[in-house]
A and B are shown apart, each in its own frame.
Chain A
Amino acid sequence: MAKKKVILSFPPRLIQEPVTNVLIRQFDLQITILRAQVRPRERGRMVVEMIGEKQNFDAAFKYLDEKGVQVDPVVQEMRYMPEKCVHCTACVAVCPTHALSVDPQTRELCFEPSKCIICESCIPACSYQAIESQF
């Protein structure tokens, strides 16, 4: 089993299509939608976590490519701005994945984008607007 976190971008003509359904039924993937956003006349964007067999991933990505859905790995949807951060660490306790942690020596905040699931729990926890969602 493999797990991947990707951003799917749909052109306007594809927004009505049940793409995630196809991914689940036809390619036997377990799909968790972490974020979704559709604006009229614009492309839709979705952050999904996909769990499944390697060969099914390959087939699914081929299907998405043929459909015209752009697939990007999640790099950094949350933007952390160190210049605004005071390193209070209030955000750390609400982060479910340890994407936010404290360096035990320096007591500085560390952000590891690869662990982030874009749940946005940290946004209300920060009083200094040092973390923003770019989604």
Chain B
Amino acid sequence: MIRTIEEINARIKSGKVVVATAEEVVGLVREKGAAQAAKEVDVVTTGTFGPMCSSAAYINFRQSTPKIKCGGGRVTIDGVRGYAGFAAADVLIGCSALPDDDPRNAVYPGLFQFGGAHVIQKLVEGKKVKLEVRAYGTDCYPRREYTVELGLEDLNDAVLFDPRNAYQLYNVAVNLGEKTAYTYMGVLKPRLGNANFSTAGALSPLLNDPKLRTIGIGTRIFLAGAEGYVVWPGTQHVAKPQRDAKDLPLSPSATLALMGDLKQMDARYMRAASVTGYGVSLSVGLGVPIPVLDEQVMVHCAVADEDITYPIIDYGEAYPMGRSGNLGRVSMAELMSGHIEIDGKTVPTGCTTSRVYSRRIADELRQRILRGEFLLTRPVAALPGAELAY
């Protein structure tokens, strides 16, 4: 071990810490080697910004007089149905929830102009939303109807909760079919009209720590401008994926469950997305700091866009029908060049993850660490399949 987490935090507090982004260390390691780079850099920052459909917020509203119990009743926020299966004043709003009267895909392809993500974004922007509660009334909570306009400051609590985020590696989506496919990977034109990818590549949090040696339950993160935490493995987490020689997984594998205080979030790092023909999603800015505990951490952080390869999957038929079928692999560098070759055809590429925002997030996290505002944590437990380096 080169340094401990305590030593890193001491250097952050004394203003001596050296932080580089995951893109910057690629060049540094090429120039000086991983051993030297690991000696020079204390922390590497990563970042990603793209639609995270598995995002939600739960809120606790202030009681009305007389009191009302929403649990078991019905709740809408700006017309979007919230989940009211909890206690008296707790409501969960999923980013993909829609108002009952949204035409969805009845008018194909649907526009999905407003949903749960827009409600969450409005709250973070400091705007008011309309909460409507219908309840059955009890002796202790007699009220049956309650309508109120409220903003973040009126809520007792507001927490962003993402059961699955930060996918380690993702598919490249194409369409072999005869008609346009409207998917969560974007609009895919027929007959290999385009190829869409969704990853921050060399900046991607879990690709810079592919074996999860530093990231675990309890890791403090940058979540949409707030301090958040990794709280659990994400759903669909794959503990033991197949890996290449650089330890990178060959298919979508590790995921993280994340939480953070919605009240501390910044609208610049969060954006509701209306995915044509698919639904509403929420783009969430995530930044994960990686402590350079040993040389191996730096070897992993040096992953470049040329190193990372993604499977190409047909979303015209194979994916919806649950058939496996890999049309080959392609590297991030090729994807970023603007076109790739599939079956001898040149296919233009588009991305749903913003590299510009991913860079901004990795840099913002670096600035916070340099200013002494963000200290690193030692995870309390490893994620399934991982062994911590601490």
User: Which A positions have Cβ atoms within 8 angstroms of B?
Assistant: 86-94, 101-102, 104, 106-108, 121, 124-125, 127-129
Contacts and interface: CB of A to CB of B under 8 A. Distances in A.
Given A90-B196, A94-B187, A127 B351 contact: no
Contacts of B27: none
A57 B30 CA distance: 59
Contacts of A92: 338, 348-350
Interface of B: 49-51, 109, 182, 186-187, 189, 193-196, 271, 273-277, 281, 283, 336, 338, 348-357, 359
Nearest to A107: B355
Contacts of B357: 86-87
Contact of B351 (A88, A121, A129): A88
Contacts, number: 76
Contacts of A124: 109, 182, 187, 276-277
B356 A87 contact: yes
Nearest to B113: A129
Nearest to B278: A127
A86 B355 CA distance: 9
A52 B182 CA distance: 38
A41 to B, nearest CB: 28
9 contacts: A86-B354, A87-B356, A88-B350, A90-B350, A92-B349, A93-B195, A94-B194, A101-B338, A128-B271
Contacts of B352: 88, 90, 127
A127 B355 contact: no
Nearest to B339: A93
A87 B348 contact: no
Nearest to A100: B350
Contact of A129 (B51, B274, B283): B274
A120 to B, nearest CB: 12
Residue of A93, A108, A121 with highest tally of chain B CB at under 10 A: A93
Contact of B349 (A93, A104, A121, A129): A93
Residue of B189, B273, B274, B350 with highest tally of chain A CB at under 10 A: B350
B290 to A, nearest CB: 22
Contacts of B351: 88-90
A26 B339 CA distance: 43
A127 B357 CA distance: 15
Given A94-B193, A108-B356, A127 B274 contact: yes
Given A86-B283, A94-B350, A107-B354, 17 more contacts: A87-B354, A87-B356, A88-B50, A89-B351, A89-B355, A90-B187, A90-B196, A93-B194, A93-B196, A93-B349, A93-B350, A94-B193, A101-B338, A104-B336, A107-B336, A125-B276, A127-B281
Contacts of B283: 86
B286 to A, nearest CB: 14
Contacts of A104: 336
Contacts of A91: 350
A102 B196 CA distance: 14
Contact of B350 (A108, A125, A128): A125
B188 to A, nearest CB: 9
Contacts of B353: 88
Contacts of B281: 127
List 7 tightest A-B contacts by C-beta distance, closest first.
A93-B350, A93-B194, A127-B273, A87-B356, A124-B276, A107-B355, A93-B348
Contact of B189 (A94, A106, A127): A94
Contact of A102 (B189, B193, B271, B338): B338
Residue of A102, A108, A125 with highest tally of chain B CB at under 10 A: A125
Nearest to B49: A86
Contacts of B356: 86-87, 106-108
A125 B196 CA distance: 11
A88 B354 contact: yes
B184 to A, nearest CB: 10
Residue of A101, A104, A107, A129 with highest tally of chain B CB at under 10 A: A107
Residue of A88, A108, A125 with highest tally of chain B CB at under 10 A: A88
Contacts of A121: 187
